[in-house]
Amino acid sequence: MSDITPFITVLEAAQKKEKFTPEVQEAAAGIDAAALKDIFAKVAEQGEFEKLDDATEAETLRKAFEFAAKAVMMLKSSPGLMEKKDLYIYFKVGKGDVMEKPGMFDIQLYGAWEKVKDYSPAKAHQLYIGHVNDFITKYGTRDE
């Protein structure tokens, strides 16, 4: 999936300060939407472990990932727990966080993280943004 038009629409609305909180608007500042589309498509075609060699591209994708983490809080309704699982996993990998060994109830979440824990940050960022894009399409966003 390389079409992130709903995500780009939300990004541009935040950049124009047409909607969302100041915190979300601030996270959107300075992200080149056209470049992001190209970078997103490039990483979507790469393998899970390939890194972005271009530091500017990596920084643009990281900023978009940070924006996505704020924008997902602006959904009209919250995705279900199972929908949030992959989002949480890719967030952890994108941030470079390590999950602790799970308790009995968290074994499924830990198992999902184990499968992707070695993905490159760029791939985790791209997958996270893709999930947020899907949630924006499915749930829409609030204005405030």
Q: What is the pTM of this model?
A: 0.91
Separation of alpha carbons 94 and 88, rounded Å: 10
C-beta separation of 92 from 106 below 8 A? no
Residue for token pair 């390389």: 2
Q: Residue ranges per domain, the chain?
A: 5-139
C-beta separation of 6 from 132 below 8 A? no
Q: Does residue 56 carry a pLDDT above 60?
A: yes
Nearest of 8, 132, 10 to residue 79 by alpha carbon: 132
What does the mean pLDDT of the chain come to? 91
Please compute the mean of the pLDDT values over residues 63-77 and round it to a whole number: 97
C-beta separation of 142 from 71 below 8 A? no
C-beta separation of 128 from 60 below 8 A? no
With H, G, I as helix, E, B as strand and everything else as coil, classify residue 6: helix
Q: What is the chain's alpha carbon radius of gyration, rounded to the nearest angstrom?
A: 15
Please compute the mean of the pLDDT values over residues 6-13 and round it to a whole number: 97
Please compute the mean of the pLDDT values over residues 66-78 and round it to a whole number: 96
Supply the pLDDT for residue 105.
60
Phi, psi torsion values for 100, nearest 5 degrees: -75, 155
Supply the pLDDT for residue 17.
93
pLDDT of 11-41, one tens digit each? Answer: 999 999 989 999 999 999 999 999 999 999 9
How many Cβ atoms sit within 10 Å of the Cβ of residue 75? 16
Q: In angstroms, how far apart are the furthest CA atoms of the chain?
A: 46
